[in-house]
C-alpha cells in the first residue's frame, strides 16, 4: 500500500441502494462524516446513521425538482482542489469550502428507462443524470486525493481495505476506482447519445413531452458508440498466437452472459460456435438440436424430445460431429445427456440442465456446459480495415402463405413441412449453401462453396443417410439450371429458394421437366 489517504468526509448519492447502509456504517465506524442527498439521506437516517443534508453543506436548497442539488462550488471545490497546493488551499479557505474525500455515486437508470416500451419522451429526458456524472468526473480527475465509488460490487473490498488501514485507501485503489468511474460516464453518455440519435433519426428532433420515445431500431446512429466492459480475458483467439478477450453488455443474456456450469474455460472459438448453434436452435419452437462445427451445422433436427432430436441431428454427419458444439432449445434431461455423453463434444448450450443431466455430464470434466437465456436481436457489427459495418440482425421468417409456388406441381404437405425446416436451417449455413432435409432432419449440408453447383454436390457427397425423397433449400437463387439439376440428381424432389435470377424461367422449366416442386421465398439468407 502506498500514498494512503484517510477518508474524513464522504458524499453519498445513489440510485441503487444495495449494500448502501453496510458501506456507510463502515465509513462511520472510522469517523467519516456522511453527507447525502434526498432518498439516500433518508435511507441512511432510517438505518440510524447520522448524515448531513447536501443543502447544509452548500448553504443552498435542493431545487428544480432535484435537478440542482450537488452542482455547487462547495461540492466541486471540495472534490477538485489539490491538497497541499498553496493556491488551492488558500482559495478553499477563503470561500469556506470543506474537503470531500470520497464520493459514492451511481447514476439514474437511463438505459433501463429507455428500454421500457412506450416510455414518454419527457420521462426519458428526466432520467438523464447531470449532478451524478459531474461529481464522478470531478472526483475521478482528482483521484490523487479523492476516492470515487461507482460500483456496489466494490463495497466489500473497500470495507476490508478501510478496516486493514484504519480508514485509509491506497493510491492504487483510488486510481483503479477513477478508471472505473470514467468508463461509467463514457458508457452512460454513449447510451444517452445513441438513444437520442435513434429518436432524431425518426424525423422528430424534439418530440412532445408525452410522446413515446422507444428507439427506432431500423435507424442507425450518426456516430457508432460501443462501450462494453471487459467480461474476461481469453487464453487466445482463433489461433494461439492471437490475443483475445470477451466484452459483455452486463444483461446476463445471450452467449456473452451465459452461466458456465462446468468444464474448461471457454475459448474464442467455443464462443463463436456457441453463438452459431444457439442462434440456430432458437429458430424453432419444437424441441431442436443443432450440432455445429466451425460455425456451420453438421447436423440439425427437431423431434418429439431432445433425445429424439439429438439422435436425428447426429445421424446426419456423425464423423464431423466429433469435437463439435451443440445448441439445444430445451432443458436437457438425463436421457438426452446419457446419449450425448457418448460423443466427444467441446461445449453444450441450453436454457437449463436437469440434475440427472448434470450428474451424467460431470464425468466429462473438460466438457463445457453453459446455461443461456435468449437476448433480443441486436444489430450485427463486422470489422473492415479502417472502419466497421453495421446491419440489422437477420430475423426474417417465412410462412407457408408467403411462399410462391412456381412449378406446375405444388409441394405435398410433407414436402412443405420439410421445405420450411430446410429454409430455417439454410439461413445458418455459410454461403453458398445447399441443405438437404427429410422430415425435420438434415440429411446433407453443402456449406461455404464458391459455386452453388459445388455446394449442391458437396452436400450430397457428405450425406450418410439416403437422399432419395429429400427436399433442398438454397440460401440464394439458382443462377442457372445446373445447380437445380445437381440437387435433383442427388434425389431431392422439391426445392425452396429466393428466386430473382434473370434465368428464373429456365430454372423453373428445368424443375417442371424433372417433375420437381419449387417455391420462391422472395428473400435470401446470405451468411458470410
Residue 359 domain boundaries: 248-371
CA pair distance 387, 275, nearest whole angstrom:
23
Give the pLDDT of residue 218: 44
CA pair distance 428, 461, nearest whole angstrom:
20
In angstroms, the Cα distances linking 331 to 336, 359, 372 are 10, 14, 11
CA pair distance 411, 185, nearest whole angstrom:
58
133 exposed, middle or buried (CB, 10 Å; 0-12, 13-18, 19+)? buried
Query: Residue 406's CB: how many other CB atoms inside 10 A?
Result: 19
Q: How does residue 62 score in pLDDT terms, banded at 50, 70 and 90? A: low
**Which H or E run includes 260?**
strand 259-262
Residues 140 and 263 in one domain: no
Q: How does residue 81 score in pLDDT terms, banded at 50, 70 and 90? A: confident
**Residue closest to 426 by CA, chosen among 498, 508, 500:** 498
Is 72 inside a domain boundary?
A: yes
391 exposed, middle or buried (CB, 10 Å; 0-12, 13-18, 19+)? exposed
Q: What percent of the chain has pLDDT over 70?
A: 91
Assign residue 99 the CATH number of its domain: 3.40.50.1380
Is 220 inside a domain boundary?
A: no
Q: What percent of the chain has pLDDT over 90?
A: 53
Q: Please say if the pLDDT value at position 97 is more than 50.
A: yes
Residue pair 167/32 in contact (Cβ under 8 Å)? The answer is yes
Q: How does residue 216 score in pLDDT terms, banded at 50, 70 and 90? A: very low
Give the pLDDT of residue 134: 83
CA pair distance 54, 191, nearest whole angstrom:
28
Mean pLDDT of 239-255: 91
Catalytic residues: 141, 294
Query: Residue 148's CB: how many other CB atoms inside 10 A?
Result: 25
* Backbone angles phi and psi of 202, in degrees to 5: -80, 0
220 exposed, middle or buried (CB, 10 Å; 0-12, 13-18, 19+)? middle
Q: What would the grid cell of residue 317 be?
A: 454427419
Count helices and strands in the chain by DSSP H and E runs: 18, 23
Q: What is the pLDDT of residues 140-186, one digit of tens each?
A: 888 888 889 988 888 998 988 888 888 888 888 888 999 888 888 88
Is 386 inside a domain boundary?
A: no
Residues 33 and 179 in one domain: yes
Domain count within the chain: 3
The residues, any chain, with a CB within 8 Å of residue 409's CB and separated by 6 or more, are: 512, 515, 516, 517
Q: What is the pLDDT of residues 495-508, one digit of tens each?
A: 999 999 999 999 99
Residues 104 and 36 in one domain: yes
Q: Please say if the pLDDT value at position 212 is more than 60.
A: no
Is 42 inside a domain boundary?
A: yes
Q: What is the pLDDT of residues 507-528, one digit of tens each?
A: 999 999 999 999 999 999 999 8
Residues 168 and 36 in one domain: yes
Q: How does residue 202 score in pLDDT terms, banded at 50, 70 and 90? A: low
The residues, any chain, with a CB within 8 Å of residue 77's CB and separated by 6 or more, are: 91, 92, 95, 97
Residues 136 and 45 in one domain: yes
CA 321 from chain centre, in angstroms, equals 27
Give the pLDDT of residue 207: 53
Q: What would the grid cell of residue 389 be?
A: 459495418
* Backbone angles phi and psi of 365, in degrees to 5: -60, -30
Residue scoring higher pLDDT (202 or 365): 365
Residue pair 106/152 in contact (Cβ under 8 Å)? The answer is yes
Lowest-confidence pick of 100-114, 197-211, 291-305, 339-353:
197-211
Q: Please say if the pLDDT value at position 215 is more than 60.
A: no
Residues 106 and 181 in one domain: yes
Residues 145 and 68 in one domain: yes
The alpha carbons of the chain give a radius of gyration, in whole angstroms, of: 30
Give the pLDDT of residue 7: 84
Of 161, 196, 231, the domain-final residue: 196
Lowest-confidence pick of 112-116, 156-160, 451-455:
112-116
Mean pLDDT of 90-106: 83
Give the pLDDT of residue 219: 61
Residues 308 and 454 in one domain: no
Q: What is the pLDDT of residues 293-325, one digit of tens each?
A: 999 999 999 999 999 999 999 999 999 999 999
Q: What would the grid cell of residue 136 be?
A: 464522478
Give the pLDDT of residue 1: 41
Can you tell me whether residue 179 is helix, strand or coil? helix
Mean pLDDT of 285-290: 96
Q: Please say if the pLDDT value at position 335 is more than 90.
A: yes
Q: Please say if the pLDDT value at position 72 is more than 90.
A: no
Sheet holding 33-36, edge to edge: 52-53, 33-36, 9-13, 102-105, 147-149
280 exposed, middle or buried (CB, 10 Å; 0-12, 13-18, 19+)? buried
Residue scoring higher pLDDT (78 or 174): 174
- In the DSSP assignment, the letter for residue 376 is P
Residues 181 and 318 in one domain: no
Assign residue 310 the CATH number of its domain: 3.40.140.20
- Torsion angle in degrees (nearest 10) through CA of 302, 304, 307, 313: -20
**Residue closest to 374 by CA, chosen among 281, 496, 244:** 281
Lowest-confidence pick of 110-124, 161-175, 476-490:
110-124
Best-predicted range by mean pLDDT among 123-132, 167-176, 363-372?
363-372
**Residue closest to 516 by CA, chosen among 497, 489, 488, 476:** 488
Q: What is the pLDDT of residues 397-440, one digit of tens each?
A: 999 999 999 999 999 999 999 999 999 999 999 999 999 999 99
Give the pLDDT of residue 85: 80
Q: Please say if the pLDDT value at position 191 is more than 90.
A: no
* Backbone angles phi and psi of 420, in degrees to 5: -65, -40
Of 371, 389, 422, the domain-final residue: 371
Is 224 inside a domain boundary?
A: no
Residues 163 and 57 in one domain: yes
Q: Please say if the pLDDT value at position 135 is more than 90.
A: no
**Residue closest to 414 by CA, chosen among 494, 516, 484:** 494
Residue scoring higher pLDDT (455 or 108): 455
Is 164 inside a domain boundary?
A: yes
Of 334, 351, 371, the domain-final residue: 371
**Residue closest to 493 by CA, chosen among 508, 512, 472, 462:** 472
Residue pair 279/380 in contact (Cβ under 8 Å)? The answer is no
Sign, CA torsion 219/224/227/232:
positive
Q: Please say if the pLDDT value at position 213 is more than 50.
A: no
Residues 31 and 167 in one domain: yes
**Residue closest to 350 by CA, chosen among 296, 396, 287, 300:** 287
Is 344 inside a domain boundary?
A: yes
Q: What is the pLDDT of residues 257-283, one digit of tens each?
A: 999 999 999 999 999 999 999 999 999
Is 41 inside a domain boundary?
A: yes
Residue pair 367/263 in contact (Cβ under 8 Å)? The answer is yes
Residues 438 and 290 in one domain: no
Amino acid at each position: 500500500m502506498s500514498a494512503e489517504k484517510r477518508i474524513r468526509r464522504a458524499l453519498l448519492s445513489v440510485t441503487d441502494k444495495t449494500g448502501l447502509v453496510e458501506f456507510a456504517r463502515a465509513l462511520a465506524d472510522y469517523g467519516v462524516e456522511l453527507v447525502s442527498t434526498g432518498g439516500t439521506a433518508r435511507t441512511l437516517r432510517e438505518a440510524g446513521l447520522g448524515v448531513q443534508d447536501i443543502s447544509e453543506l452548500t448553504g443552498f436548497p435542493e431545487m428544480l425538482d432535484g435537478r440542482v442539488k450537488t452542482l455547487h462550488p462547495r461540492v466541486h471545490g471540495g472534490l477538485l482542489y489539490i491538497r497541499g497546493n498553496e493556491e488551492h488551499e488558500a482559495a478553499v479557505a477563503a470561500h469556506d469550502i470543506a474537503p470531500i474525500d470520497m464520493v459514492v455515486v451511481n447514476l439514474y437508470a437511463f438505459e433501463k428507462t429507455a428500454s421500457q416500451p412506450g416510455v414518454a419522451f419527457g420521462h426519458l429526458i428526466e432520467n438523464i443524470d447531470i449532478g451524478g456524472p459531474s461529481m464522478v468526473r470531478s472526483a475521478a480527475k482528482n483521484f490523487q486525493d479523492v476516492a470515487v465509488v461507482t460500483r456496489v460490487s466494490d463495497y466489500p473490498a473497500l470495507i476490508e481495505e478501510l478496516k486493514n488501514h484504519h480508514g485509509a485507501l491506497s493510491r492504487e485503489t483510488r486510481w483503479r476506482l477513477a478508471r472505473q468511474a470514467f468508463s461509467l460516464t463514457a458508457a452512460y453518455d454513449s447510451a444517452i447519445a445513441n438513444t437520442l440519435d435513434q429518436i432524431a433519426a425518426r424525423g422528430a428532433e424534439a418530440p412532445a413531452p408525452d410522446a413515446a420515445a422507444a428507439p427506432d431500431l431500423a435507424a442507425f446512429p450518426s456516430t457508432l458508440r460501443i462501450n462494453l466492459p471487459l467480461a474476461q480475458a481469453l487464453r487466445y483467439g482463433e489461433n494461439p498466437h492471437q490475443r483475445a478477450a470477451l466484452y459483455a453488455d452486463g444483461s446476463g443474456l445471450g452467449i456473452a452472459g451465459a452461466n458456465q456450469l462446468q468444464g474448461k474455460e471457454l475459448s474464442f472459438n467455443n464462443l463463436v460456435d456457441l453463438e452459431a448453434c444457439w442462434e440456430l436452435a432458437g429458430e424453432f419452437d419444437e424441441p431442436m438440436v443443432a450440432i455445429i462445427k466451425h460455425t456451420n451445422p453438421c447436423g440439425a433436427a427437431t423431434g418429439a424430445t431432445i433425445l429424439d432430436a439429438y439422435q436425428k441431428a447426429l445421424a446426419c454427419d456423425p464423423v464431423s460431429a466429433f469435437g463439435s458444439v451443440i445448441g439445444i432449445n430445451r432443458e436437457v434431461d438425463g436421457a438426452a445427456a446419457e446419449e450425448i455423453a457418448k460423443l466427444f463434444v467441446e461445449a453444450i448450450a441450453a436454457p437449463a440442465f436437469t440434475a440427472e443431466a448434470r450428474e451424467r455430464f460431470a464425468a466429462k470434466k473438460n466438457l463445457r456446459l453453459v446455461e443461456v437465456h435468449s437476448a433480443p436481436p441486436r444489430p450485427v457489427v463486422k470489422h473492415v480495415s479502417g472502419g466497421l459495418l453495421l446491419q440489422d440482425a437477420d430475423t426474417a421468417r417465412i410462412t407457408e402463405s408467403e411462399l410462391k409456388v412456381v412449378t406446375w406441381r405444388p409441394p405435398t404437405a410433407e414436402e412443405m413441412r420439410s421445405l420450411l425446416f430446410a429454409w430455417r436451417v439454410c439461413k445458418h449455413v455459410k454461403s453458398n449453401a445447399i441443405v438437404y432435409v427429410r422430415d425435420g432432419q438434415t440429411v446433407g449440408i453443402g456449406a461455404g462453396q464458391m459455386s452453388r453447383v459445388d455446394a449442391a454436390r458437396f452436400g450430397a457427397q457428405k450425406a450418410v443417410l439416403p437422399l432419395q425423397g429429400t427436399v433442398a433449400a438454397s440460401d440464394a437463387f439458382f443462377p442457372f439450371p445446373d445447380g437445380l439439376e445437381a440437387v435433383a440428381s442427388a434425389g431431392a424432389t422439391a426445392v425452396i429458394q429466393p428466386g430473382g435470377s434473370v434465368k428464373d424461367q429456365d430454372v423453373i422449366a428445368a424443375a417442371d421437366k424433372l417433375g420437381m416442386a419449387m417455391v420462391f421465398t422472395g428473400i435470401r439468407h446470405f451468411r458470410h
